[in-house]
A and B are shown apart, each in its own frame.
Chain A
Amino acid sequence: MILFVDQISKHFPGFSLSAISFGVSQGDYFMLLGPTGAGKSLLLQILCGLVKPDGGRILLNGIDITFASASQRNMGILFQDLAIFPHLNTYDNIAYPLKVKRESSGVIKRRVQELAERFSIAHLLHKNVNNLSGGEKQRIALARTLATNPSLLLLDEPLSAVDPQLHLDLLAMLRSINRAGTTVIHVTHNYEEAISLASKIGVLNQGKLVQLGSTVDVFQYPRSEFVAKFTGAKNFFKVKFSRVSQNGLVYAELPFGRSIAFYSNPVNANGFVCFPEETVVLSTHVENQSAVNAFQGKVIDIFAQRFGYEVVIDCGVKIFSRITGESLKKMGIAPGMELFATVKANVVRFIPEI
């Protein structure tokens, strides 16, 4: 385990981080997911040494760094506002961490060139950073952060202020940085980012780590209202791309061997699908239905809810449907009954795994 966070806490009047514990392994892409004000950024600042915790320990590669100064931690952090130094040009920004470590000028030159090529900013090296676009600045900040090969890369909402086209580029860039061996901790309030990138997710809410697990764990069995509300679904499945039909419908394979159809862009990727419970229609026959996805299964549970009922159907995996009391009565739904759960292709949300 490269990073071990043990019972970290920090108290402010009106807000506390309490007893945060988690571990990150070499090569992990760890997502800290939580709503605004959950304490995500504070936790990052504690990790990188800008804020001292009131209690707990942080171990990096087995060494206790809880009270080590920020400059000695060898963690790179990409701030949401990027913190590009406005008085230095691109080259000097990227070279900054090497210069303060007093690397020789030859080493600095080679390293900056290498990073500039990797992030496609070689043509900007001698430009004034204040005239560059947001995407260019983001690349510069990333290159600068990675210049000293930090053992851990911390990202504070890197995708939140980025336009849609850049969003995809950046997702791919972050993924490739991770694949090249850098362990990443990424803070976000955007569950789609988390699903796309994470190998492991921690959900933070009101200063507490409320859930920790794999992407499927967290989204299929959300233990926080935040996650449940945002995915809008307990119907959350990992899928494998299989084919695209002539009219543009994407077919992908669900874990229980059935396929599900939906519209999406990009079309040829593995990823996750989810659909809200209230869009799952239950019926005893599937003839004359417009929905393309029909899953046959047995009713295993019925829960009364504030508005109507939640019906759980076992179709190999559990599919959840929310129906009214009237429908429940009219159809005589009871545990053990065979039913079809149908889902229209256009309510299925697909989130590609990048």
Chain B
Amino acid sequence: MSATTKNDFSGFRLTMMLLGAFVLLFIIAPLLGMVVNTPFKAIASTVADSQVLHSIWLSIWVAMVTSLVFAIPAIPLAYILARYDFPFKNVLNGIIDLPIVVPHSVVGIALLGLIAGDSLLGKAFDSFGINLLGTPFAIALAMAFVSLPLLINSARDGFLQVPVRLEQAALTLGATPSQVFFTIALPLAWRSITTGLVMMFARGMSEFGAVIIVAYHPMVASVMIYDRFTTFGLKYAQPAALIFLLISLFVFISLRFFSRKK
């Protein structure tokens, strides 16, 4: 074994590793550069800035609530896609992946058309004196639109990995279809579902393009960083960006950790 491993190092394998290292470096370098280039003093004063903290907190809680609320219809959809065959299933799978390919500014414009004051939905809310634009609700819609495919696809893959035989066995043991779903399919697909939820949350929290169109204010973290950059410049945006990056990473890693443990 050692002989072949050595041989691999001299040629093919070495080339592959170098190319891979390049990609890894490309991902890490800008982020690491930002960490190195941002003076600690600037970070400390930015942390004390309540606008920064409010924006980050807004990003986190709206993304979290969005993921949990949309999970209620998204998980059943994933189950249907995993278990049943029906005409145009491929078309449906394509529609679910659509948010990944649609430019996010386009998503924002489309959503704006949906909820703006002169739209049907907008008028309906307007009659109650509610303007949806610039609310956490609008932010949530933008976040959900771009991040739902991550949850649906992950949950569907999770359900696909649950052997149909186990569900059949549960049926013959007297379980109703809904009991089968809650006692067999859901627990066995749980890991994939929580991974999907965490990914959806992370994607929603980091969304910028769609959110800025439907809600410039209140500012989520990504909009706040952009606002600081355009108003005051790079030096002023960097500390806020770094803090958001660290908090995002912390939340993301701890969520993954807890979902793995389960």
Question: Which A residues have a C-beta under 8 Å from some C-beta of B?
Answer: 48-50, 69-77, 79, 81, 83, 85-87, 96-97, 100-101, 144-145, 147-148
Q: Which of A81, A87, A144 contacts B173 (CB 8 A)?
A: A144
Cβ proximity bits B163-176 to A, threshold 8 Å, 1 near / 0 not: 10110111111111
Q: In whole angstroms, how far apart are the Cα atoms of A50 and B166 in the complex?
A: 12
B179 near A83 with CB under 8 A, answer no
CB distance from A148 to the nearest CB of B (A): 6
24 A/B residue pairs, CB under 8 Å, sorted by A: A49-B171, A49-B172, A50-B168, A50-B171, A69-B171, A70-B168, A71-B171, A71-B172, A73-B172, A76-B173, A79-B169, A83-B169, A85-B170, A85-B184, A86-B188, A96-B173, A100-B175, A100-B176, A100-B179, A101-B174, A144-B173, A145-B173, A147-B173, A148-B173
Contacts of B173 in A (CB 8 A): 71, 76, 96-97, 100, 144-145, 147-148
Q: In whole angstroms, how far apart are the Cα atoms of A72 and B172 in the complex?
A: 8
Contacts of A100 in B (CB 8 A): 170, 173-176, 179, 183
Q: In whole angstroms, how far apart are the Cα atoms of A134 and B165 in the complex?
A: 17
Contacts of B187 in A (CB 8 A): 87
A75 near B172 with CB under 8 A, answer yes
Which range holds the interface residue count of chain B?
10 to 19
Q: In whole angstroms, how far apart are the Cα atoms of A131 and B49 in the complex?
A: 55
A148 near B168 with CB under 8 A, answer no
Known A83-B166, A85-B184, A87-B188; judge A50-B179 contact (CB<8 A).
no
Cβ proximity bits B156-197 to A, threshold 8 Å, 1 near / 0 not: 000000010110111111111001000110011000000000
Contacts of B171 in A (CB 8 A): 49-50, 69-71
Q: Which of A73, A83, A97 contacts B168 (CB 8 A)?
A: A83
Chain B facing A: main interface SS: helix
A79 near B165 with CB under 8 A, answer yes
Residue of B nearest to A97 (CB): B173
Q: In whole angstroms, how far apart are the Cα atoms of A76 and B172 in the complex?
A: 7
CB distance from B169 to the nearest CB of A (A): 4
Q: In whole angstroms, how far apart are the Cα atoms of A83 and B168 in the complex?
A: 9
Residue of B nearest to A99 (CB): B183
Contacts of B183 in A (CB 8 A): 96, 100
**Which residues B33-89 have CB closer than 8 A to chain A?**
none
Q: Which of B172, B175, B188 contacts A77 (CB 8 A)?
A: B172
A71 near B168 with CB under 8 A, answer no
Contacts of A76 in B (CB 8 A): 172-173
Given pairs A79-B169, A87-B188, 19 additional interface contacts (CB within 8 A): A48-B172, A49-B171, A72-B174, A73-B172, A74-B174, A76-B173, A77-B169, A79-B165, A81-B165, A85-B170, A85-B184, A86-B166, A87-B187, A96-B170, A96-B173, A96-B175, A97-B173, A97-B175, A100-B170
Top 6 closest pairs, chain A to chain B, by CB: A83-B169, A97-B173, A70-B171, A100-B175, A77-B172, A83-B165
Pick the most buried of A69, A71, A81: most chain B CB atoms within 10 A of its CB. A71
Known A87-B187, A100-B183; judge A148-B165 contact (CB<8 A).
no
